[in-house]
């Protein structure tokens, strides 16, 4: 599945997703797709480093009415969540028991709330 997204340079790019989890939430797991999406949108995320105890492996990217949560795990594990403003947090919470891990529920919820606050602040600045 492909979404058309306008990047920070105003160029429309193809954002690739693997599956829809629920309305307003899509996931990309395939390594090549996550890497291509990151390259197209200039998303830089570092892998966790156990020796240095650095775990800055999560990146929230807000682009208008959508948000992308990029998560790099150990080895070749990578996930990207495309979060849209029509995501229903109540349904997400209910689905978190079935389709996503509970710790990811918190990250997705935080990402969604960050997007909504940023967009609200943009609207206030335009008044």
Tens of pLDDT along 31-81?
899 999 999 888 887 665 555 444 557 888 888 889 999 987 666 678 899
Other beta carbons within 10 angstroms of residue 96's beta carbon come to 18
β-partners of residue 107 are none
Backbone angles phi, psi at 46, to 5 degrees: -100, 150
φ, ψ dihedrals at 4, nearest 5°: -90, 125
Residue 66: which residues within 8 A CB-CB, separation 6 or more?
A: 3, 5, 82, 83, 84, 85, 115
Helix (H) or strand (E) holding 30: none
pLDDT value, residue 78:
82
Q: What does pTM read for this prediction?
A: 0.82
Q: Calculate what percentage of the chain has a pLDDT beyond 70.
A: 83
Total residues belonging to the chain = 127
Q: What confidence score (pLDDT) does residue 28 get?
A: 95
pLDDT band at 8 (very low <50, low <70, confident <90, very high): confident
């Amino acid at each position: 599945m492909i979404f058309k997204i306008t990047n920070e340079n105003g160029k429309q790019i193809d954002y690739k997703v693997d599956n829809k989890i629920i309305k307003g939430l899509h996931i990309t797991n395939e390594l090549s797709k996550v890497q291509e999406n990151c390259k197209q949108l200039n998303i830089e995320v570092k892998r966790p480093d156990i020796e240095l105890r650095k775990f800055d492996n999560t990146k929230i990217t807000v682009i208008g009415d959508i948000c992308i949560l990029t998560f790099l795990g150990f080895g070749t594990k990578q996930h990207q969540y495309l979060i849209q403003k029509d995501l229903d947090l109540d349904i997400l919470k209910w689905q978190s028991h079935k389709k996503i891990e509970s710790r990811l529920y918190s990250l997705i919820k935080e990402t969604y709330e960050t997007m909504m606050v940023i967009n609200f602040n943009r609207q206030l600045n335009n008044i």
